Amino acid sequence: MELRQVNIYDLIDGRRIGIRQCFIDAFCAFLMPFDGFDTKIISFVAPVLAKEWHLSKPDTGSIFSACLFGLLIDDFCIPFLTQRFATKRSAFVATGLFGLFTGLNVFTTSVPQLPS
């Protein structure tokens, strides 16, 4: 059995852009403004939480550092998990966990309860 070599550049350049690719481009363009929204909004939320919950500066700092620590874990762990397991499965798990922890933030009443 002879193996056939495929030039990926010729394969991509030889195809027409279809409705599916246009939809994916439009959907990604729609989502781009929301990328990083959670890390940006914390600068507006933390002062309000500090005032409402009577937080000290170290407690407010822990809110900021928890957000950055979550990004650190994401940036270092997700690529390895994606290589170990299927990409689609990793994306579903990561998106599900993000949604779960984001939803749990609604029920927090103190700093230790923040799941992020």
For residue 25, what pLDDT is reported? 92
In whole angstroms, how far apart are CA 48 and each of 30, 37, 64, 86?
A: 29, 17, 13, 41
The pTM for the full model equals 0.50
Q: By CB neighbour count within 10 A (0-12 exposed, 13-18 middle, 19+ buried), where does 47 fall? A: exposed
Average pLDDT of 41-63?
Answer: 81
Q: Name the average pLDDT for the chain.
A: 82
Read off the pLDDT band of 106 (50, 70, 90): confident
Q: How is the chain split into domains, by residue range?
A: 35-113
Give the residue, 51 or 70, on which the prediction is more confident: 51
Read off the pLDDT band of 71 (50, 70, 90): confident
The pLDDT tens digits of the residues spanning 73-90 come to 878 887 888 888 888 888
Q: By CB neighbour count within 10 A (0-12 exposed, 13-18 middle, 19+ buried), where does 79 fall? A: exposed
